[in-house]
Every structure is written in C-alpha cells, then in structure tokens.
Amino acid sequence: MRIVPENTVFVVLCFEGPDVYSMAGGLSSRTTHLTNALAEMGFQVHHIFIGDPQMEGEEAHQGGRLILHRWCQWISEHYPGGVYDGEEGKLSDFTESVPSFVVKEIAAPAISDGKSVVILGEEWHTAEAMYCISDLLYYSGLREKALMFWNANNTYGFERIDWQRLSYTTTITTVSKYMKQIMLEMGINPLVIPNGIPKAILSEVREKDVSTLREILGSNLILSKVARLHPDKGWKSAILAVENLKRSGVKAILVARGGGEAYGMKIAGLPRSPNIIVEDIQLHKDSQRCYYNAMLENDFAPYFEAINKHGSADVLNLLFPIPYPLLQVIYKASNVVLANSIHEPFGLVGLEAMAAGAVVFCGCSGEDYATHMYNAVVLDTYTADEINFYIDYLYSNPDTSKSIGNAARLTAEQWTWQEVVRRLLCKLEYQAKAQGIDLPSRVEHG
C-alpha cells in the first residue's frame, strides 16, 4: 500500500497560486511549495488555480511533471486587482467548470493507465467543487480509484460549506492541533497535515544584502511584520509597540507588508497620527519582472531603491508583493519578526522567519512548532506591553536572543515541505487502506 510516482497522479485545487496575480497570503505559498515538492519527488501534479489573465492558460514545469492550469482567466481580465477581485464570479465559474475537467481530462485517463488519483482541495472556495468531483467520479464508476482530501487552512467561509456533504465525500484535514480543536467543537474530526517551508528558504542569506538593508533603514531597532490586514493579525499592538519605543527614545522602524485587501489599513488599526509616521512604499517599476528577477537571480536593487526613499518614517508600509528571497533578507535584518497573531491557524510567516534564524514573536494558537524562549517568544496577552517587555529583555540579554535564533533555524529544518509531504503520503496510504483502494505496485504498459 504505497503511494509512489509510478502509481499516483495528484490534483491540487486552490484559488491562490504561484502567479503574482494569484498571491494574497500564506495559501499561495502553501499550494505553490506543496505542488513543487510533490513534483520534485517525481509525481505528476496538476495545480488548478485562479491565474494571471496575461499568462498561458496551461504551463508545464519540472520536466513536465508539474502542470499549472490557470482558471477563470476570461473573468480575471476584467478584474486586475488580483485573485479575489471579482471573487463571486470566479467562484461560480470555478465550481461549475473545474469538476468535469478534473474527471474527464485528468482522473479518467490516469485511472485508465492503471494509476490512482489524489485530489487535494484547499479552503472553502473549493469545497463545492470537491463534492461535485466526487459525484462525477462515482457516476463514472471511478470513485474507488480516487483519494480526496479537503483542507481547512482557516475558519473563513465555514458558514458557506455543506459540512455533511463534504464529510461524506472527502477526508477533511487541517493544518494544526489548534484548528483541529476548533473543528472538533463543530462535530468534525479532521486529520492534521501541517504546512511546511521550501528547502530553498534554508539557504544562507547573503550578508551583503542584510547589511545593505540595515544601512538603508538606518535604525537601531528593526522590526518586521508580514500578515494580512486584519485585526486578528495583531497589527494594532505591533504599531503601539513601535509608538512606545519611540516615546522611550528608541529609534525603531517597522517594515510592514499586508495583503492586497481592498479595505486597506483602516481595519488593521494602523494609526495615522502625529505620533507615528506611516509611509507607503511603492515599487515604481514592472513588479512582475522585478519579482522574477529577485526569485531567480537574487536581484533586490529595485526593492532597495524603493525602500531607500522612506525618509523619517516609523512604519514602512510595503505596497508590493515580496519575493521570498527578499523576505528572508528582511527577516534576517530584523531584530524581531512580529508574527503576533491573535488567531493563527498555523503561522507560516513565523516558520519562514525562523528559517532565516530570526527571533520570532508569535502567538499561542496554531504555531505547533514554537517553544517559548527556546526557538521563539510565544506571547500570551497579545498586548503592546508584552511585546515591549520582551524586546527590552532580549536587548538586555543578547546571548539569549542569539540562542533563540540558532534554535529557530534548527527547528525550521524539521519542517520542510519534503518532510511534510512524507507525513501527507502516510496519511493518504492510511486512507487508501480505509477506503479499500488497491494501489498498484507498478504500472503495466502494454
């Protein structure tokens, strides 16, 4: 009962994906790195997502093993604001058109070739498509050859899910013990399959880039925070902590990156007051070209140029997607990375920052990887006062700060996507046995 590249094809459904257009939060990072890790292990993977309308509808990577299917492009042409711009129209089209495509164009040919199919759905947007796929597989006589897992990354959209139908047609999973407890209270007992980080994030960050950024920022204390602009993400206490530092005479600067939410900074509680100067930083160049140059060549010059115009700001609000190699530079350059969410299903940002050896301040919800004062600072109260206390404590105890950063790096090495995928495969094999699916040991070619 082994799931191996010779006998299994994967299909991953998600609104978010690898295109700049498709990125809004941690979900794009999860699905992009999950699909890449599976393809690197030799699996055939189909990733269906709401893609950039200006790019090819279908595109192959990793020697043809990873196939990107950009969906709803005809709708996205009218909504340039990103993946969730025109959300309801995209959701309707996705739900109506994806199931038949998956069954007819991917599942049926693979099963005919003697393989099993694993279909992984992410977040509430894919829930209805998942049970429609299950129905079509059943009526086609193919359901017993398919494993279907639907994953909850957060509680968003839970009220729009037909849980009885979803539970009947798929195996429900989630990303942390914290989320499992929330769902148990709803009468749902999901499997836990965590997030991971790509191995590339563990590459050593170039010290010259870190030094350049620190010089540009010109601050005694550098804080960073990357999260959606939502009250649950702890933005208000982060800003108040900066304000407290400023009042005490400490020259601190917060490098901030929110999502592309239309409601902007107001809902996050980011103040625009005489006490705190918040400056919006734009990238006045081709953002997509800059993004791919940074990803492929570690060319951060356009980003450094934009950040260098910050003046005397206390908070730099970066209004552009940040490629992860640059994120690692920001985390490494920071004295503290604030991942201080009040409600955090997993905390991918915290884990990514730990991979850079950063000192992370996280909450105590879904961050299963965090141990207080060993590899992170785990906050209990989510207040600015607690943040300021530990900033002062670590400043006064530099050896402790260094020890936390070193342990953080070692912890991150245990949470790569390769390790997470191995756990996923074990749970898939368990579910295959539970469903009575007879996985072929090899594929016969006539």
User: So where are the chain's domains?
Assistant: 8-196+416-435, 199-413
Determine if residue 184 is left, alpha or beta; phi over 0 gives left, psi from -120 to 50 gives alpha, anything else beta. alpha
Contacts of 328 (CB under 8 A, 6+ apart): 201, 205, 352, 355, 356
Residue where the block lists tokens 């009040």:
342
> What's the rounded Cα separation, in Å, for the pair 292 and 310?
24
What CATH homologous superfamily does 199-413 map to?
Answer: Glycogen Phosphorylase B; (3.40.50.2000)
Q: Do the domains 8-196+416-435 and 199-413 sit in the same CATH topology, yes or no? A: yes
Give the Cβ contact number of residue 359 at 10 Å: 24
pLDDT number for residue 260: 56
DSSP letter, residue 205: P
Residue with tokens 């390769």: 418
Q: Which two tokens stand for residue 347?
A: 């905390």
Q: Please tell me the distance from the alpha carbon of residue 90 to that of residue 53, in angstroms, as a whole number.
A: 12
Q: Which two tokens stand for residue 429?
A: 């094999």
Q: Give the Cβ contact number of residue 161 at 10 Å.
A: 19
Query: What pLDDT is attached to residue 321?
Result: 85
| DSSP secondary structure of 307-371 | HTT-TT-SEEEE-S---HHHHHHHHHH-SEEEE--SS-SS-HHHHHHHHTT--EEE-SSS-TT--
CATH of the structural domain 8-196+416-435, one choice from 3.20.20.70, 1.20.1050.10, 3.40.50.2000, 3.30.413.10 = 3.40.50.2000
In this predicted structure, what is the pLDDT of residue 372? 97
Q: Could you give the strand order of the β-sheet that contains 58-61, starting from the edge strand earlier in sequence?
A: 58-61, 66-71, 44-50, 8-13, 116-122, 146-152, 171-174, 191-192
| pLDDT (0 to 100) of residue 270 | 56
Q: What is the pLDDT of residue 292?
A: 87
- Whose CA is closest to 353, among 379, 317, 328, 370? 328
Residues of the chain with pLDDT below 70 are: 1, 260-273, 440-446
pLDDT for the residue 286: 85
What pLDDT sits at residue 273? 62
